[in-house]
Structure 1
């Protein structure tokens, strides 16, 4: 497989996946987004995504990850009419981080009906950035500073990346490259208790224990952490558990891939409002993403 992919092929994969899930596709909106971000989609890892739950299962998304060129995703989205420039702190956060912290790559999230949604921002793979320093940014949600001590109790001191959602005004902060045992069932159970999340089932705890990272969702409206998500990387869709829900099972079985690499991430999300699962098949996989995710092992050594 080459390190690039054609934009028409990306569109075809999105179209095929929407048909697989019986979801309506706004063709002009998707093609417009792909055209606006073509340099990113053709030179990065490209993934599709879906989640469980009646509402989420209607919101199939697509994303590019770890683009290292000069493209500024926020300014690109604004200049192409995919996003209105706003005065919410979320609109300032990406630029504020860029001005003070080293950035190695970016990513962008899109949804087949809603369009542009989110920016990902990767810190250098060898230099996760101190959470206490990030929390001092004026545009950062206060909830980050309010939860520094809680996160530190679980060895979560430095962030590897973050993602700003401009539709929900939420922030995800990711921690990876963590020691073995970080996601042991008793530790995850203790964490959810501190977060005010109902205790996960034994099966959910088992899934979380296999995660290569954890990420938390913050908002500008609350001092609490909204949810925690535990992603697991597998080298092929056949290794995605078959009891995560019929939509995920159908997606894993029929989603297209650009080449022999057929890696997927499935994730367990724990929230006070209810737990759910996500699936992210990589239509086009670039090996450089391994460094972005700070994986301790080769993706092919990960197992379900």
Structure 2
């Protein structure tokens, strides 16, 4: 209907449907969509000139910096504006045009961080964010295998998009590499992946975690994550969630929090090259309504939800329960411009439905 209104049409027509499909479908999934259109004998080529290739958001960058600083004040974390601006300048069009969220944790204040991130599937990165980070001096290329692994991932998998994290105190911290959801098998033969990642093959297979969609590379702490996006609505049982935690040698959380984990939209695992164990495991849960978040579990969660600044009328959040060998903590993340949760959900759904 929106496309129809834009061309001032009287009723929705084939052109509106085709243009809308191309504008909302991530680039990585368009070949599948095109094959479907061809099977229906749809002459989509004649409509392509009407497709708008552009960013989906229009963020106020200066306001974003102020809000980032405000959240650091709320969470008692140091804010380094110079380091932040250096990263913003390197990826300026993405921080302005892409979905953005801001996250913190309930770790003790001396170990707490605040990170702002963008994610983009539609608009190309040229060069890729890792190359930009090296060229702009945002990360130092040393002999750590994390540098070889991110290159190996970009060469091995069909890519869907990227994301970049800014740590409020240090600058660029993470680069996210989104792949078209597919089999986890290639990970186990990767040359530069941590051995600990390969060690848990049987664990992943046992729990039917065989299709994943995302790598995260943390250049600050030299770790890497893999993410499993889960089909919705969630089907996990309480006992399943407890087993996922206990089999890694971690202690489960209280029952209320573990029940929240049954609603997770993703699972993520953290690995290092210095250990043969999974360093951290986290359930990620979406909340379209702030009242759904168990903010009574920690006072910082309530403070963050109540006082977070946003560039949107939407008040959606992601929260998580993270387990490591020191115990557990909670994550809380805002949907800063009201686009992140829907954006990730759209990409996840398209990928999981494509993956067989």
TM-score, with length taken from structure 1: 0.89
CA spacing shift, 1:199–1:278, aligned 2, 3 Å = closer
Task: Give the corresponding residue for 2:140.
Answer: 84
CA distance in 2: counterparts of 1:169 and 1:189, whole angstroms: 28
1:111 and 2:164 matched: no
CA separation in 1, counterparts of 2:136 and 2:320? 32
- Give, in angstroms, the shift of residue 293 of structure 1: 3.8
Distance 1:222 1:57, change over 3 A: closer
Match of 2:347 among 282, 292, 295: 292
How many angstroms apart in 2 are the aligned matches of 1:181 and 1:237? 19
Evaluate the alpha carbon distance shift between residue 28 and residue 199 of structure 1 in structure 2; reply closer, same or farther with a 3 A threshold: closer
Residue number in structure 2 paired with 1:184: 237
Aligned length: 292
* Contact 1:219/1:226 (8 A) holds in 2: yes
Q: TM-score, normalised by structure 2?
A: 0.77
Which has the higher mean CA deviation after the structures are superposed, 211-220 or 49-58? Answer: 49-58
> Could you say what secondary structure the match of 1:256 adopts?
coil
The answer on whether the counterparts of 2:213 and 2:229 sit within 8 Å (CA) in structure 1 is yes
- Kept after mapping to 2: 8 A contact 1:230/1:267: yes
Out of 183-192 and 246-255, give the one that drifted further: 183-192
Please state how far the C-alpha of 1:262 moved relative to its aligned partner: 2.2
**Which residue, out of 266, 271, 276, partners 1:213?**
266
* Deviation, structure 1 residue 161: 0.8
Give me the whole-angstrom Cα distance separating, in 1, the residues matched to 2:325 and 2:338: 33
* Alignment partner of 1:151 is 2:204: yes
Which of the numbers 138, 141, 162 marks the counterpart of 2:191? 138
Bigger Rg over Cα: 2
Using a 3 Å threshold, how does the CA distance of structure 1 residues 260 and 295 change in structure 2: closer, same or farther?
farther
Q: Which runs of 4+ in 1 moved over 4 A?
A: 179-182
**What's the counterpart of residue 153 of structure 2?**
97
1:38 to 77, 84, 92: 92
Q: 1:225 to 1:131 in 2, by over 3 A?
A: same
Aligned to 1:299: none
Alignment of 1:257-268 (within 5 A): 257-268=310-321
Name the SS for the 2:335 alignment partner. strand
User: CA RMSD, aligned part only?
Assistant: 2.1
Structure 2, unpaired ranges of 5+: 1-55, 352-356
**Structure with the largest fraction of helix:** 2
Q: Is the 8 A contact 1:259 1:284 kept in 2?
A: yes
1:279 and 2:332 matched: yes
CA distance in 2, matches of 1:94, 1:165: 10
| Equivalent residue, structure 2, for 1:49 | 103
**Cα contact 1:66–1:289 (8 A) shared by 2:** no
**2:119 is equivalent to residue 65 of structure 1:** yes
